Amino acid sequence: MLEPDKIDYRSSGRGVSLEVPPDLTQLPGQSRYVVPTTGVSATDYAAGQAAAQAATSTGTTATNQIADVHYEHAGDERWLSVDRPADKLWGPVRDFWLDNGFLMAVDQPTVGIMETDWAENRAKIPQDFIRSTIGKVFDSLYSTGQRDQFRTRLERNAKGGTNIYITHKGMEEVYTNNRKDSTIWQPRPRDPGLEAEFLRRLMVKLGISQEQAKAQVAQAEQSQARPAAARVVQLAGQSAVQIDDDFDRAWRRVGLALDRTGFSVEDRNRTQGTYFVRYVDPTLQKKEPGFFGKLFGRGTPQLPTSRYQVKVSTQGQTSTVTVLDGNGNPTADADAQRIVKVLADELK
């Protein structure tokens, strides 16, 4: 787990907004001296005042007793289980990322996926004497050489509530030669500590106190159960991934694996056990347009993509993950084989 002062993404241009503390609710506006805009009788006016006082006495200004947010941990998987529907959580979760200094690159409530833009953790910049003096004026001159991106997925669970998953992707800037005169950005390993810390912060955003959130996280992190092994098998001439897990666990693990490996999940059907994904072959080179192409607005050419279905089926305590084509038919093309291998490596 990371210390809170080791995370600071506010440099992306948006400050933290003023909020009501998480253990309180917003105070209603005082209407004692407001003149009604339309004619009302004394009886109606008195009834309205009585209703307002009743609403106040039932807790609209009292301590918020929401305790429906639970931190879950199983092996390498962490998520929140919230006893609320996803449509009631989308707005608060989106505000949570904006308040933490991120911009949104993907915002798709119909699919239940939001993704932040790449941002820099400014807390990693060394706070030496030069940084503390000149850096206050020329802050943009300092960079960590690392960028982070977070994907959040909201999904209805079996109890009628919502599971919230947060996955991290990282990039780092490295030199391309010994002269150190040019750099490129390349992926770096994901940071489970960042995922856990932002889940804890999101718990506070959703109404849990700091103490309750820390206690839940500490208790859950004590569980170190290892996930079931995943292996590649051949079924009817097609490669598949086999996991010694029931459907609920396998479905969750496959969803997290897709998020972490960068697939674009366009839709999902939990009843049928199917994720609808879009895949870009990483071996294809992305060519930038020339001067005249940019001048006439042709822009950067899009890489060819293929759509597939990742299906999770279960028999007893063993689940099988297969990759089908966009129409749901078996396929053995090269891209499908790559997807199977990527998923197997991540699920291991």
pLDDT in tens, 59-80: 332 333 346 999 998 878 899 9
DSSP for 111-174, please give it. Answer: TTEEEEPPB--GGGS---HHHHHGGGT-GGG---SEEEEEEEEEEE-TTSSEEEEEEEEEEEEE
For the chain, give the mean pLDDT.
Answer: 76
Does 345 have pLDDT greater than 70?
yes
More confident residue, 124 or 184: 184
Q: Is the dihedral of CA 185, 187, 189, 193 positive or negative?
A: positive
Determine the pLDDT at residue 5: 55
| Cα–Cα distance measured from residue 52 to residue 269, given in angstroms and rounded to the nearest whole number | 44
Could you tell me which residues come within 8 angstroms of residue 264 by beta carbon, excluding any fewer than 6 positions away?
277, 278, 279, 305
More confident residue, 268 or 54: 268
Lateral strand order in the sheet of 230-235: 230-235, 238-243, 318-325, 305-315, 274-280, 264-269
Q: Which class is domain 1-26+63-225?
A: alpha beta
Tell me the domain boundaries of the chain.
1-26+63-225, 227-348
| Cα–Cα distance measured from residue 8 to residue 120, given in angstroms and rounded to the nearest whole number | 8
pLDDT in tens, 221-260: 876 666 678 889 988 888 899 999 899 989 999 999 998 8
- Name the pLDDT band for 263 (thresholds 50, 70, 90): confident
Beta carbons of 169 and 261 less than 8 angstroms apart = no
Crossing angle (nearest 10°) for helices 334-347 and 247-260: 110
Does 18 have pLDDT greater than 50?
no
Crossing angle (nearest 10°) for helices 192-205 and 86-99: 110
Q: Is the dihedral of CA 155, 161, 165, 166 positive or negative?
A: positive
Does 28 have pLDDT greater than 70?
no
Does 145 have pLDDT greater than 90?
no
| Cα–Cα distance measured from residue 228 to residue 166, given in angstroms and rounded to the nearest whole number | 21
For residue 213, give the nearest of 223, 222, 202 by alpha carbon. 202
- Name the pLDDT band for 126 (thresholds 50, 70, 90): low
Quick one: CATH architecture of 227-348? 2-Layer Sandwich (3.30)
| Cα–Cα distance measured from residue 263 to residue 167, given in angstroms and rounded to the nearest whole number | 12
- Name the pLDDT band for 173 (thresholds 50, 70, 90): confident
For residue 245, give the nearest of 313, 167, 345 by alpha carbon. 313
Does 84 have pLDDT greater than 80?
yes
Determine the pLDDT at residue 296: 44
pLDDT in tens, 191-214: 999 999 999 999 999 999 999 999
Does 106 have pLDDT greater than 80?
yes
